[in-house]
Structures are given as C-alpha cells and as structure tokens.
Structure 1
Amino acid sequence: MTDLLTKPAATAPASAAQRPSSDRRLVGIGFMLTAVSFFAFLDTSAKFLGTIEHIPVVEIIWVRFLMNAVLIVVMLRPRGVMRAAPSKRPGQQILRSALLLATTAFNFAALQFLQLDQTSTIYFLAPFFVAALAGPLLGEWVGWHRLAAICVGFTGIIFVTKPGFGGIHWAVALALGSVFCHSLYSLWTRYLARFDAPRTTLVYTPLAGAVIMAPVALWNWQMPPNALAWGILLSMGLLGGMGHWFLILAHDRAPAPVIAPFTYINLLLVTCLGYLVFGDVPDIWTLVGAAIIVASGIYLLFRERAASASAPASSSTVDG
C-alpha cells in the first residue's frame, strides 16, 4: 500500500518522445471499447443467471473467476503461466486482484435488484473517481476545470437514484461500492503497468476470486437447471477474462484519465441488452442522469487532450 501511495522516485523529466504517442493512445482507447463490450455481456449474463435461473450470486462470482483462471492457463499454457507469474510487486498484484473481486461481488449483487441501465449509469462515475484519485495515488493531477467537471458529473447520480421520489433503493449502495472498488482497481492496473508486463498482471487477475470464493461457493452450490444456464455460467470466465485482458492492454498504452471516459459505450450496450433480455426500459430520470455524467466525462477527455498538447513535458500536473 505504501508503494502505491508514495510517488515514484524522482527521475529526469520525460521528453516528448517518452510520453505516450497519439497512436498509442488511440490503440488504448480501442482496447478499452473492446473491454467494456465484453463487460456488458458479462453483466447481462450475471443478472440473467441470478434473476431468471435463480443461481446463487456467490456461485456465479466463483465460476466467473474460476473459468477466467482456466482460460488464462489455456491461453498461456502452464509453462507460460509459470514464466509470467514472477512479479516485481506481488503484494500489489494480489491487492489489485482483491479489488476486482470486491468490484464484481458488489456489482453482481446490485444487478439482482437494479436494472442494467441503472447499474451501468452509476458505474459511469468511475472516470470521476479515477480522475480525482489519480493525483494522490499516481501523481497524475487534474486542474480546476476537471474538478468542476467531476462535481457536475456526480450530480448526475441524483437523477439516477431519485432521492425524494419514494426513497433511494438500498442496492444503490452496492453499485456505488462497486464503482469505488473498480476505480481503485483501474488505478492499481495503471500503477502496475510501470513494473510488470501485461501477462504478469493477467495471471494475477482472477487469483483472489478463484481462491477466496471457492469454499463459500461450494457450500452454497446449486446445480444450473438447464444447458443454457450451464453455457452462460461457463462462458462468464471468457467474457470476464477477455475483458480484463483488453483492459490491461488499454492501461499499458494510455493514461487512466484518457481511456476511462470511453466506458460510456457500455450504456448503449446494456440498455439494448436490458430491453431485449429483461424488457427493461430506462426511465427519463436515468436518461437525464446518464446525459449529465457522460457529458462531464467527455469534457474531462477534451481537457486532458488539450492540456497534453500544450503542457511542458516536465509538468507533473495536468493543467485544468
């Protein structure tokens, strides 16, 4: 923890050639878009298994991480896993894996009570958490323009949760917990990209979920009722594994504040999937809240791009 909270040792100012190029950032954005597409189908699968097939959430979580681990072994083969396993920051890798487990547990639990579009809109607060936390944790500070955008973005959650109109559903707290853990997970991913290769980070990704959830899931095990449920349950490892592989690659190629806003494609996907699979239609409050959050996030992106083009290479603060 102290490694992450402490700034890296002082080094010479980075030259323009050392900063991420535009091409690398575009590739990182493409990887992020691919990752969130996988995550949209992952969330839909989790909600379907929990609310339609009535499979325990702890079982869904464990199989998702277990199959993710199996997929990694198949992709890299046992020898490749052994070569990739050594890490320069093993403790931080385990902590990152635990953050992913917490993110998934909160999210899958929230999905049992909230619509897909609601949980995804709340999830869009992640770029604001990332932008706010990137300074103290990674040294990627934001200026007052971005701080204003973060404050505006957080007002969008008021429309989604509708306080004063029948009360806030308690499951919103689960969704917010997932967002916070995911934001820390994203920053840890960015941090570890400085020390470990993407394959090393990939190997550690499902570790906490596969190990910690095993006894709980086996104690509450319930056989899936049909072949469709089995297929969806087993495919969740592929969806999650590929999603996080592309997420790792995205963070390896672009700063967190650049790629985070492109998670917004997720809203379009989950809204369509929510309607097709569950018949859910987003209400006007959710749409207004999503519009506020997305607009603020896009503003964050443009401010970062403008600042990157004009700021001196030696600056450690993103001018706002």
Structure 2
Amino acid sequence: MSARQAGEAAGSIARDPRRLVGIALMCIAPVFFAGLDATGKVLAGTGVDPLLTTFMRYAVSVTLVTAFINPVTRPGVSHSRRLPLQILRSLLLFGSTAFNFLALRSLQLAETISIQFAAPLTVALLAGPLLGEWSSRMRLAAVVAGFVGVLVIVRPDALVAKPAILFSLGAMLCYAVYVIVTRKLAAYDSTATTMFYTGLGGLAVMSPLLPWIWTAPPSGTVWAMLIAVGLFGTIGHWLLVLAHARAPASLLAPFIYTQILWSVLLGYLLFGDVPSLWTMLGAAIIVASGLALLGEDALMRRHARRRAPPPPRDDAASRPQR
C-alpha cells in the first residue's frame, strides 16, 4: 500500500466513528482471551484438573448464551439444517479448548498463542480441498512462510524438552477445522443457531466425566477463577461480534495479533516468563505471514469490485416519461 493509499484509508476510518469503535473493541477482545489463558494456567498451577477448567469454561458460557438465545426467546433457533456439522463444530471447539488448557500446564502463554496464530494459515491451506477456495501463489508462499515460523518455535530440541507443544499443535488444528466448518455452516444456519450450539458439544462431553474429574475448589478464589474462565471467553467472543458489526473483517483482523503482547505481559507479571528469542522470532514470522494473507485478500476483493459490472441505472431521468 502506498503512502497516499494509507493516508486515504486512515482518513476514511477517521470519518467513520463506527469503524473506530470496531477497532477499539477488537483491541479489547484479546485482553480477555489472554486473561482466559492466564487464568487457566494459574488454575493448573493450583492443581485444578485442566478438564475441570474446560468444563467450567463451557458451563458458564452455555449458561450466559442460552439466557439470551434459546427456543423461548427465539423460536426455531434450535432447528439446524446441518445438525451433524453443528455437533462437529462444537466438538472441535471443545477439543481446541481442552488441548490448550493441557498445553498451558507447562508452556508459556507466548508459546501457546504464537502456535495458535498459525490457525489462519492452516485454514488457507485446507480451504482448497474442503471449500474449493484455492490459494494463489502469493497466498501459498505466505502459508509456507508461516509454517516455517511454527517450525522455528517447534524445534526438535524444544519438542523433546516440552512435549506439551503437541497439545498446542492439536489445539491449533482443531481450531482451524472449526473455522472451516463454521464457514460451511454459514450457508445453511443462522448466526443465532450456530451460537446456540457452540458450547453444547463441550458441555455434553464433559458432564458425564464430571464425577471422575471433580475436586472441590479449595477456596473462594479458585471458584472465582473457574467462573472467570467462562466469563473471559464469553465476553471476548461477544466483543468480537460487536466489533465485526461495526467494521469490515479485513480492517479488524490485524488487531487480533495484539494478543501476543498481552500474553507476553501477563506471562511475565504472573509467572516470570520471558519468551525465548526462538519463540519471538517464530511469532514474528507467523504474524507477518498472517498479515500478508490479509493483504492478499484485500487486494483480491479490490480487483473483484473493479471488474464487477456497474449496476443498471434506474433513476427517473433515465426512464422515458409517459
């Protein structure tokens, strides 16, 4: 983007307060997501089973969502035209959450979030065979560069020293397929229906296991943190919805990477973790690759708009008077 184009884009944003609000909301959401991960890691340090933390994540979320989106307030919301896909999507999100909490027992916040940010690259790679959205050479180059960033973090010596990296990779893969399934469902079910089913899979899987993983929280503080896990996740996703209602996704997407900054800060303040140079280098490569994908998408949309035929004129001056 040239300096002139950047100036025009900045002027356009400044003239539209809704976009500024959307950007602000998009910058706040990662604070809650980083807080979710940090709280999960603190709970793991107190001896709370990560699966119990996962259960509470979904119990709180489902309670809050169903208070507003349910068959009573929204008749027909539970009817899905692709129920198996809804169940699969919900289970994939559960898998991503559970793997992430398992990884956080021994990995730094910066390590897990850096690997998680490879999910958009994986989506770009899988979109071809699964959705028929084949990537251009530039997009494939960005994907390859992003996976090089992952390999910088997941080095053979790091994998031997920290096998929990495999959990983080599993979380990333689950989330990437979750995004693919979400995009497929958009053609069949409403957003409200998809939101209604989002947490039910995780809750259905974890509820029968509760007698085996349940241990009474030793203090009110631990109870508060378990509830906070669900609140942080729910509020973070709610802020994302509000942000996307006010600004286009292509404008908002880069700001999600601010989560790395919050993860590094919370990791240092709460656990004294200082990311290694390898982690920061790999994260920088992954973020740069993700931004390159976003730039390519914006460029393709701009070309598509220019090639689209102009809409037919339908004003009074162009019609014969009778």
1:68 aligns with 2:61: yes
Give me the TM-score of the superposition, normalised by structure 1: 0.81
Contact map agreement 1:121 1:290 (CA 8 A) in 2: yes
CA separation of 1:249/1:99 partners in 2, compared to 1, >3 Å: closer, same or farther?
farther
TM-score with structure 2 setting the length: 0.80
SS state at 2:107 partner: coil
2:36 aligns with 42
Q: Would you say the 8 A contact 1:47–1:108 is kept in 2?
A: yes
The one-letter amino acid of 1:139's match is G
Does the CA contact (< 8 Å) of 1:25 and 1:254 recur in 2?
yes
Q: Distance in 2 between matches of 1:313 and 1:64?
A: 45
Instruction: Evaluate the alpha carbon distance shift between residue 29 and residue 218 of structure 1 in structure 2; reply closer, same or farther with a 3 A threshold.
Output: farther
Range that drifts further, 241-250 or 195-204:
241-250
1-structure distance, mates of 2:176, 2:74: 27
- Tell me if structure 2 keeps the 8 A contact 1:130–1:187: yes
Cα distance in 1 between the residues matched to 2:24 and 2:127: 21
**1:43, distance to aligned residue in structure 2 (A):** 0.9
Distance 1:31 1:138 in 2: 30
What percentage of residue pairs aligned between the two structures are identical?
Answer: 44
Shift of the alpha carbon at 1:288? 0.9
- Name the aligned partner's letter for residue 31 of structure 2: S
Equivalent-residue separation in structure 1 for 2:192 and 2:105 (angstroms): 33
Give 1:149's aligned amino acid.
A
Map 1:1-320; keep pairs closer than 5 Å: 33-51=27-45, 53-76=46-69, 79-80=72-73, 83-164=76-157, 167-246=160-239, 262-311=255-304
Report deviation, 1:313: 8.1
Q: By how many angstroms is 1:263 displaced?
A: 3.2
The residue type equivalent to 1:48 in the other structure is V
- Mark the CA change 1:254 to 1:150 in structure 2 (over 3 Å): closer, same or farther: farther
Tell me the amino acid that sits aligned with residue 85 of structure 1.
S
Q: Check whether the contact 2:70–2:78 (CA below 8 A) recurs between aligned residues.
A: no
- Gaps (5+ residues) in structure 1? 1-21, 316-320
- Change in 2 beyond 3 A, CA 1:84/1:33: farther
Q: Distance between the aligned counterparts of 1:305 and 1:265, measured in 2?
A: 20
The size of the alignment, in residue pairs, is: 293
Please state whether the residue corresponding to 2:73 is helix, strand or coil. Answer: helix
Amino acid at match of 2:80: S
Distance 1:260 1:151, change over 3 A: farther
Cα separation, partners in 2 of 1:151 and 1:312, compared to 1, 3 Å: same
| 1:5-37 CA-partner distances (Å, limit 9, x unpaired) | xxxxxxxxxxxxxxxxx9999998776655443
After TM superposition, the structure 1 stretch with the greater mean CA deviation from structure 2, 176-185 or 187-196, is: 187-196
Aligned CA-pair RMSD = 3.0
Query: How far, CA to CA, are the matches of 1:62 and 1:26 in structure 2?
Result: 36
Residue 59 to residue 35, structure 1, CA distance change in 2 (3 Å): same
Residue 17 of structure 1 corresponds to none
Measure how far apart 1:218 and its partner are: 2.6
Q: Flag structure 2 segments of 5+ consecutive residues without an equivalent.
A: 1-12, 309-322
Deviations 1:164-194 (A, max 9, x none): 4683521111100100000111122222222
One-letter amino acid of the structure 2 residue matched with residue 309 of structure 1: R
